[in-house]
Structure 1
Amino acid sequence: MSDTAPVHVRHGSSIGQSLTRAEGMLKVTGRARYAADHHPADMLYAVIATSTIARGRVVALDLAAAKAHPGVIDVMTPANAPTLAQDPDLKGTPFTFRMELLQNDQVRYANQSIAVVVATSLEAATEGAALLHPTYDVETARVDFDDAPRFVPDSVGVGSPSKDTHGDVEAGLASADRRIEATYDTPAQYHNAMEPHAIVAAWDGDHLTIDTPSQGMAMAQARIAGLFGIDATDIFIRSPFLGGGFGSKGLISGPQILGIMAAKLVGKPVKLVLRRDQMYGPVGHRSPTRQTLKIGAMADGSLTAIDHHTVAASSSFDDFFEPAGGVTHTLYATPALSTTYEAVRLDTGTPLFMRAPGEASGSVALEGAIDEMAFACGMDPLEFRLKNYAETEPLSGKPFSSKALRECYEQGAKRFGWAGRPLGSRQMRDEAGLLVGWGVGTATFPALMFQAEARAELRADGTGTVDIGAQDMGQGAWTALAQIAADGVGLPLEKLTFNMGTSDLPNAGIAGGSAHTATAGTAIHNAGGAVIAALAELATNDDRSPLYGAGNTGVVARDGRLFRRDDESRSESYETILTRAGQASVQGKGQAAADPATQKDYAMHAHGAVFAEVKVDPDLGQVRVSRLVGAFAAGRVINPRMVRSQYFGGMIWGISFALQERAAMDRRTGRIVNANLAEYHVPVNADVPSLEAILIEEHDSHVNALGIKGVGEIGVTGTAGAIGNAVWHATGIRARETPIRLEKLL
């Protein structure tokens, strides 16, 4: 089976069943072809040369040495780079960010692309890039978060206000019996998906064919079309499989565009793949934050006010500020709250969307501060959270479209054994003498919807096809979306051909914001409804059919047949209906989009609770997570196996966030010194403890027609905070900086 061939799923139709991955066999046998696996005829190899300084300009490159190297075809620099139709620094939509595309000699951060070497082999291109030996006019890099001037940004995230208030925070704090003020620091983090950013680009006149990992092919088409002055329909993208993305592949990046430019320069197909160290800079990251929370509560534990102030960093040349205060808008009932922001500019690449942008870093600070206030009130942390349970969204006052967080707390606590937790710290040890601590964190993520389209076809041979330009970056879209498709057209999965992964299919929107299944799934569901309606019209208007006179609303589609809703003994197969009508097939189209009226009336979120157990060596300060139990409510579950996999992934990322993950910056040069997977620590198998994810039943008729909320990002929110709280419970030391380092615990 080729990488773009349809995936034929061999199981029965089954929304809600734990089917195995439709593409699993392709992946484990190596037949799933990722972008860098493509080798068109006459293909050349491109390697980026990156800056070793963080600020200044390139004075000279040894082009003669590089071009003299055997196998080197050309070196692309600002002097000979193909002319672009659009300035890459031009800001368009809120999802347009500036790129470094060899338009000048300026260096804006370390690891910026400064040249591209094209050669007949990867080795020759790599050696040619090393021979360039750039010289620089160096300026002092501005990389110190603490020393950078602060300012108030116009907005944070994608257009969110930099100040939100509800009630009188100052009065709420003044009237409180208990007050805390705590500052939490989170570091810069980098996506580090297994598959690096890569592109294979081939021009045929103005027609461009590319293989590249993309979380949003239509957005990539539009950006490429603008930069090269061609029609988006002349760009064909293949992206059936992604080796992880976590947001970094949501937007086309500068290195990918450079691969396209290099192909245009040399007139042949070109492959460009980033090395691991080159991933630190041009393709986004999570910015560092400093968050200060002031919280007031009465003696009985009732909150009186929350003030959440965030300082976030962006690059010197573009704007993306981590919206860390957003979690405070929705989690805890308080008569007064405020979220405010300041920002700094650093000589780094622009931070962008990274799994749970805002919520991940914000929940670390909020959940830690909530625990601190619970202790100040002499209350169990879970009891304190239930005391301040929000029945309506605190900032907006809107009712929740659904909220089963109480059930998450209850079932998670029961499974974990929370009832036996001592209130004070340093009260538990295991048989080896290690300090044991238990912590809890609340998880939340908005239930988002984007725009998408799909099409469906039913054929006279009893088979069907559903097409949508969706992506699978490991979350199980090939499987879950096919389940929705089969259900929508009323066919067993083995009779359905499900196509996705190429840009010539209907636009599925972006696989991000934990919204892909909801968005693409709704479009698929609606396309199924449209094709069934067309088929039903043929049958119910034909007096030879047992369904004659039933009307569209009077039939049900199931197992390749239409049944009268009022008398299921009267039915007819799709084959019979189409054959009698003399039609080879019938088609239908469907769309998906958020409903503005529903968004105006309801607050829509997924919720969860994570319980963590840690063990800490009292002499060495070494921390190990020994147990994690998460309970999550995210609307309708299409495939429990895939959902649990996503929850596990998020919880593992929470371990990484709490204990391991941090980009270390050399403040003298502005370079990241651990730009590799040996020193940029993320969890390996030995770091991952017993994991359990409980799926809480929840029905939501408002979020979308299928009742689906997202699960991809919620697992990381709550988990890191729960681990930090467990470390305090074990040691009595409140670590307010992540990752929690052993020297802080000694």
Structure 2
Amino acid sequence: MTPEIRLTESPAHLRHGANIGQPLTRRDGILKVTGKAPYAADRHPRGMLYAVLAVSSIARGRVTFLDVAAAKSHPGVVDVMTPTHKPPLAEDPDAKTNPFMFRMELLQSDAVRYANQPIAVVIAQTLEAATEGAALLTPTYETLSARVGLDADESFVPPAVGPGHPPIVEHGDVEAGLAAAAKAIDASYETPAQYHNAMEPHAIVASWDGDKLSIDTPSQGLAWAQGRIAGLFGIPVENIHIRSPFLGGGFGSKGLISGPQILGIMAARLVGRPVKLVLRREHMYGPVGHRAPTRQRLRLGTDGNGLLTALEHHAKTVTSSFDDFYESAADASHTLYASRAIRTSHEAVRVDTGTPLFMRAPGEATGSIALESAIDEMAWACGIDPLQFRIRNDAEVEPISGKPFSSKALRECYTKGAERFGWWERPLSPRQVRDENGFLVGWGMGTATFPALMFQANARAVLRADGSGVMETGAHDMGQGAWTALAQIAADGLGLDIDRVEFKAGTSDLPDAGIAGGSAHTATAGVAIHNAGAAVIAKLADLATRDQRSPLFGAGNAGVIARNGRLHRRDDETRCESYADILRRAGLAEIEATGGGAADPVAQADYAMHAHGAVFAEVKVDPDLGQIRVTRMVGAFAAGRIINPKLVRSQLFGGMIWGMSFALHEEAVMDRRSGRIMNPNLAEYHVPVNADVPSLDVLTVDEHDPHVNPLGIKGVGEIGITGSAGAVANAVWHATGVRVRRFPIRISDLLMAG
């Protein structure tokens, strides 16, 4: 068994006061920067073999031949897993028993459904031997024409979009609103396919012991992974132990167990030895999800005062030929701007790619760059400053549902962000400002929003006789700092300094912490932790207040307060007793309790729950070469209660950088003839590097929300993208006077327009 990782230390200079709200440094930071944090691929159980995928080079057809004999002739190759030589599964991997179950390619036939689909697995003594063995398979194919792009086939209205949302939503009469408008725009925008590209590729180390399975793999949802594996292999969930203490990024791609990870488990069962399978970078472009491309049409109308009379947002997207996931891009128009008439709708086309899935800010990221560009165009048509236009049309209640917001400090975000950025010095017309080098300077902005979600979770709390505490939950840290923020909540829930709390997370034998996705993990696991702490403190208080030897005896009606490892009478705080003394006198080594958390259905029915923000961007454009440089970004965000300002700042920076990347860098380039992605690597799939990152500034606006959950947490992991992409795109227009509606914006777009 691998040693259990326990994070217990925090920097001495930060040990003061309540833990929630303190800018604590990551508790796992030293482990990571010194290389001592074990990721899945770092595990090497005794007798381990290496597995490498052989993947299809076509997008549609079937495999007609694999030279298995040649691969097996390699001296290091142990076995080759193919559709005709594989362990059986207890469940059809194409079966779907719930909406969050997606189909996998697990060598069940010779059919090829997309390029980079796994078609065999070579298992060998070394990684080099497995790689060489995979190359020796030299597959041949029967090839069919690949269906590629948004116009590949007949479109249809999907049954649902995103996580089960209706594909069409209407409020009021859009056509009447457009007909009555004094000003109107009708514009279409396109966004490309994007791939998660976390630094850590998907990986698995799998070991079987009879019908018991031990796994090391990165996961954003341990319990979901257990359930999927149990179904596929026909074993009890409790027979599966998953270790996932650290993830090198996920962005949604590790929320659900993927086909290659299951193939690693199958390979281990086939050879009867532990097997490690790690995806090469190019293998991540297909079987582990991506963000689908979109084409979005927005029609907006305003009256003579610049107030919206109609807003229509239609999105066309793609899904795979064999499964259903539809990017809910048009849903971005549901919540921000007030209009008498709003209509959002979706259509889709089936193509020969891997199935698109959730990717950081799914729906909102793609939808908001189109919406915020259209809002900017509408403001220009009305001759109104873009910020003033947004303030004028800010929705005081959720426009379609009519629900009041649980809290909404967006206008304060507008005000503070604009002040920090210096927005009011911006000329209204484009192409008016140049810097000392003659570069065109432009300023743009975008509104940020993301729903405040919460899932179900559980936690276990323990107080020990030495006065220390333990908090256990199967939480996931993919770089967002969960091991630190959740430990802060645990410490306050237990009434202890954080250095007296042992926080256990990252394994499937701990209470289910829900899924780390939808910017909901801190709220979800945090509420469970908070409730577990309250439950164990209540048990401890019951021991003390019923004991005549305790100074807290009889305080049951008055109540007690837990602070710094002691219980104090609420009506007389001088009467107190340490946890250690209470447990020692009761003859107990420890006391424990559990707690759960889930969204309040009544509050959800009564309120619209969203985080909000405003992002401002400055770009400089070479007027001769068309080169674009983002030089400055300011973001102001209101996201409920902030558990750790340092971690929140980091997450918002990351989101803003991704938004900049969305506008200027990221695109998976598809060969339309073969259906193959032409840039499946980090050299040609462009993401920002340090030289591309501008001066970033983040403000957080205080926001108390008593409705969203007991801790008032909204989440910050995804909101930073949603305003930033539009802000950069709008800044490029303001610098050049060229409105680019296909992203990412290219140099050629500006030169050809000029």
Q: Which TM bucket (shorter chain)?
A: over 0.9
Alignment map for 1:19-168 (pairs within 5 Å) = 19-168=24-173
1:543 paired with 2:548, answer: yes
Whether the 8 Å contact between 1:328 and 1:339 is mirrored in structure 2 is: yes
Whether the 8 Å contact between 1:536 and 1:552 is mirrored in structure 2 is: no
* Structure 1 residue corresponding to 2:228, chosen from 198, 205, 223: 223
- Report the identity percentage: 71
* Structure 2 residue corresponding to 1:260, chosen from 252, 262, 265: 265
Alignment map for 1:166-177 (pairs within 5 Å) = 166-177=171-182
Number of residue pairs aligned between Structure 1 and Structure 2? 746
TM-aligned CA deviation for residue 553 of structure 1: 5.9
TM-aligned CA deviation for residue 3 of structure 1: 6.6
Aligned-partner SS, 1:666 = coil
TM-aligned CA deviation for residue 337 of structure 1: 0.1
Give the Cα separation in 2 of the matches to 1:422 and 1:92: 56
Alignment map for 1:410-449 (pairs within 5 Å) = 410-449=415-454
Give the Cα separation in 1 of the matches to 2:182 and 2:4: 63
Alignment map for 1:594-743 (pairs within 5 Å) = 594-743=599-748
Give the Cα separation in 2 of the matches to 1:743 and 1:190: 23
Whether the 8 Å contact between 2:472 and 2:504 is mirrored in structure 1 is: yes
Whether the 8 Å contact between 1:564 and 1:570 is mirrored in structure 2 is: yes
Give the Cα separation in 2 of the matches to 1:80 and 1:327: 47
What one-letter code is carried by the residue in structure 2 that aligns with 1:126?
Answer: T
Aligned-partner SS, 1:472 = coil
Give the Cα separation in 1 of the matches to 2:690 and 2:413: 27
What one-letter code is carried by the residue in structure 2 that aligns with 1:71?
Answer: G
2:390 matched residue in structure 1: 385
1:587 matched residue in structure 2: 592
Aligned-partner SS, 1:257 = helix
TM-aligned CA deviation for residue 569 of structure 1: 1.0
TM-aligned CA deviation for residue 2 of structure 1: 7.3
Give the Cα separation in 2 of the matches to 1:177 and 1:471: 51
Long gaps (5+) in structure 2: none
1:290 paired with 2:295, answer: yes
* Structure 2 residue corresponding to 1:334, chosen from 335, 339, 351: 339
Whether the 8 Å contact between 1:647 and 1:712 is mirrored in structure 2 is: yes
1:577 paired with 2:579, answer: no
2:361 matched residue in structure 1: 356
Aligned-partner SS, 1:285 = coil
TM-aligned CA deviation for residue 552 of structure 1: 6.7
TM-aligned CA deviation for residue 395 of structure 1: 1.2
What one-letter code is carried by the residue in structure 1 that aligns with 2:24?
Answer: L
Whether the 8 Å contact between 1:2 and 1:31 is mirrored in structure 2 is: no
2:10 matched residue in structure 1: 10
What one-letter code is carried by the residue in structure 1 that aligns with 2:695?
Answer: S
Give the Cα separation in 2 of the matches to 1:147 and 1:119: 40
Give the Cα separation in 2 of the matches to 1:233 and 1:147: 45
1:238 paired with 2:243, answer: yes
Give the Cα separation in 2 of the matches to 1:521 and 1:145: 41
Aligned-partner SS, 1:399 = coil
Q: Which string of whole-angstrom CA distances, capped at 9 and with x for unpartnered residues, describes residues 390-446 of structure 1? A: 110011100000000001000000000001000000011111100000001000000
Q: Which string of whole-angstrom CA distances, capped at 9 and with x for unpartnered residues, describes residues 195-254 of structure 1? A: 000000000000000000000000000000000000010000000000000000000000
Aligned-partner SS, 1:155 = coil
1:500 matched residue in structure 2: 505
Q: Which string of whole-angstrom CA distances, capped at 9 and with x for unpartnered residues, describes residues 156-190 of structure 1? A: 11211010011111111111100100100000000
1:489 matched residue in structure 2: 494
Whether the 8 Å contact between 1:614 and 1:730 is mirrored in structure 2 is: yes
Q: Which string of whole-angstrom CA distances, capped at 9 and with x for unpartnered residues, describes residues 252-273 of structure 1? A: 0000000000000000000000
Off by >6 Å, runs of 4+ in structure 1: none
Q: Which string of whole-angstrom CA distances, capped at 9 and with x for unpartnered residues, describes residues 19-39 of structure 1? A: 100000100110000000000
Give the Cα separation in 2 of the matches to 1:317 and 1:149: 15
2:277 matched residue in structure 1: 272
What one-letter code is carried by the residue in structure 2 that aligns with 1:480?
Answer: A
Aligned-partner SS, 1:569 = strand
What one-letter code is carried by the residue in structure 1 that aligns with 2:474?
Answer: G
What one-letter code is carried by the residue in structure 2 that aligns with 1:534?
Answer: K
TM-aligned CA deviation for residue 147 of structure 1: 3.6
Q: Which string of whole-angstrom CA distances, capped at 9 and with x for unpartnered residues, describes residues 339-394 of structure 1? A: 00110010000000000000000000000000000000000000000000111001
Q: Which string of whole-angstrom CA distances, capped at 9 and with x for unpartnered residues, describes residues 462-487 of structure 1? A: 11100000010000011000000000
Q: Which string of whole-angstrom CA distances, capped at 9 and with x for unpartnered residues, describes residues 312-359 of structure 1? A: 100000000000111110000111100001100100000000000000
TM-aligned CA deviation for residue 10 of structure 1: 3.1
Whether the 8 Å contact between 1:289 and 1:310 is mirrored in structure 2 is: yes
Aligned-partner SS, 1:363 = helix
Give the Cα separation in 2 of the matches to 1:438 and 1:570: 60
Give the Cα separation in 1 of the matches to 2:325 and 2:558: 48
Q: Which string of whole-angstrom CA distances, capped at 9 and with x for unpartnered residues, describes residues 129-157 of structure 1? A: 00000000000000132242111111111
Whether the 8 Å contact between 2:558 and 2:571 is mirrored in structure 1 is: no
1:471 paired with 2:508, answer: no
1:192 paired with 2:197, answer: yes
- TM-score, normalisation: structure 1: 0.99
TM-aligned CA deviation for residue 4 of structure 1: 3.2
What one-letter code is carried by the residue in structure 2 that aligns with 1:631?
Answer: A
Give the Cα separation in 2 of the matches to 1:659 and 1:177: 33
Whether the 8 Å contact between 1:3 and 1:32 is mirrored in structure 2 is: no
Give the Cα separation in 2 of the matches to 1:481 and 1:254: 31
1:181 matched residue in structure 2: 186
Give the Cα separation in 2 of the matches to 1:3 and 1:99: 32
Whether the 8 Å contact between 2:667 and 2:686 is mirrored in structure 1 is: yes
- After superposition, the Cα gap between the structure-2 partners of 1:552 and 1:201, relative to the gap in structure 1 and judged at 3 Å, is farther
Give the Cα separation in 2 of the matches to 1:591 and 1:651: 33
* Structure 1 residue corresponding to 2:321, chosen from 316, 320, 328: 316
- After superposition, the Cα gap between the structure-2 partners of 1:190 and 1:3, relative to the gap in structure 1 and judged at 3 Å, is farther
TM-aligned CA deviation for residue 564 of structure 1: 1.0
1:369 paired with 2:374, answer: yes
What one-letter code is carried by the residue in structure 2 that aligns with 1:10?
Answer: S
Whether the 8 Å contact between 2:152 and 2:350 is mirrored in structure 1 is: no
Give the Cα separation in 1 of the matches to 2:604 and 2:74: 60
Q: Which string of whole-angstrom CA distances, capped at 9 and with x for unpartnered residues, describes residues 284-310 of structure 1? A: 000000000000101211000100000
What one-letter code is carried by the residue in structure 1 that aligns with 2:503?
Answer: F
What one-letter code is carried by the residue in structure 1 that aligns with 2:378?
Answer: M
What one-letter code is carried by the residue in structure 1 that aligns with 2:95?
Answer: L
- After superposition, the Cα gap between the structure-2 partners of 1:318 and 1:554, relative to the gap in structure 1 and judged at 3 Å, is same
What one-letter code is carried by the residue in structure 2 that aligns with 1:166?
Answer: H
Long gaps (5+) in structure 1: none
Whether the 8 Å contact between 2:216 and 2:242 is mirrored in structure 1 is: yes
